Amino acid sequence: VSERLRLFVALELPREGRSALAGWAAEVVPLGVRVVPEENLHLTLAFLGSRSAADAEAVSERLALVAWPPEALATAGAQWLPERRPRVLAVSLSGADDLAALRDRLVASLVRAIGFELERRPFWPHVTVGRVMRDVRVDGRREFPVPVPQLSMHPAALTLFASRTTAEGARYEALARVELAS
Ligand code: 2AM
């Protein structure tokens, strides 16, 4: 049996940062928008899609080689996306140049390890904090009743996750993790 896994590589965020983001989202989302549970908040660096267990293994083995603690990530506003018919609420994180450098190293490693093909859209560091329920429309131009908290946080780990859909929503299982010293 060849199990397929829905994989992505992400930076894990520290507990206080996740908690502040989830708290803010809970305050501002209108009815019909689910706040992403705190434990599911992360910054995706690369979405790998459906992959074999062998690919997961190959990526796991290389994670430590690319992990390099980026400087603090700072929150930089929030957006409903796509603008015309929002499906998610996301908080932008602006890293120093070394966030882009970490991502470039990761992508280069993924290309060699599993023939990863980079998405065409530019890298936009963000944390998805809310998901709009099916058939619900929200006005993406409305101002937030409470401003996004200004946070600065050091990512806690570089992690390969498998995403599983359950009755309660998405569950992310860490398959490999490299702790990042801050
Ligand atoms: P999102 O936060 O913008 O929704 C697990 O689903 C993670 O992988 C999420 O962070 C999600 O991004 C990202 N992801 C899911 N599907 C994706 C896709 N088709 N392209 C890029 N990223 C995706």
φ, ψ for residue 17 (rounded to 5)? -65, -45
Q: How far is CA 14 from CA 122, 136, 164, in A?
A: 25, 31, 22
Secondary structure of residue 147 in the 3-state scheme? coil
**What's residue 182's pLDDT?**
64
Residue with the smallest CA separation from ligand 1 atom 14 is 47
Pocket lined around ligand 1, Cβ cut-off 6 Å: 8, 44, 47, 88, 128, 163
Bridge partner residues of 81 (DSSP) = 88
φ, ψ for residue 32 (rounded to 5)? 90, 5
Q: Determine the residue of 36, 47, 79, 80 to mutate for testing ligand 1's pocket, defined as the one with the most ligand atoms within 8 A of the Cβ atom.
A: 47
**What's residue 63's pLDDT?**
95
Q: Determine the residue of 8, 9, 12 to mutate for testing ligand 1's pocket, defined as the one with the most ligand atoms within 8 A of the Cβ atom.
A: 8
**What's residue 1's pLDDT?**
58
**What's residue 119's pLDDT?**
84
**What's residue 167's pLDDT?**
87
- Distance from the CA of 49 to the center of ligand 1, in angstroms? 9
- Distance from the CA of 6 to the center of ligand 1, in angstroms? 10
Residue 91 has a CB neighbour count (10 Å cut-off) of: 24
Residue 31 has a CB neighbour count (10 Å cut-off) of: 7
pLDDT per residue, tens digit, the chain (182 aa), is: 578 999 999 999 999 999 999 999 999 999 999 999 999 999 999 999 999 999 999 999 999 989 887 789 999 999 999 989 999 999 999 987 889 999 999 999 999 999 999 888 889 999 999 999 999 999 999 899 999 999 999 999 999 999 999 988 899 999 999 999 76
Q: How far apart are CA 93 and CA 10, in angstroms?
A: 13
Structure tokens at 56: 């997961």
Torsion angle, CA of 9/90/131/80, rounded to 10 degrees? -140
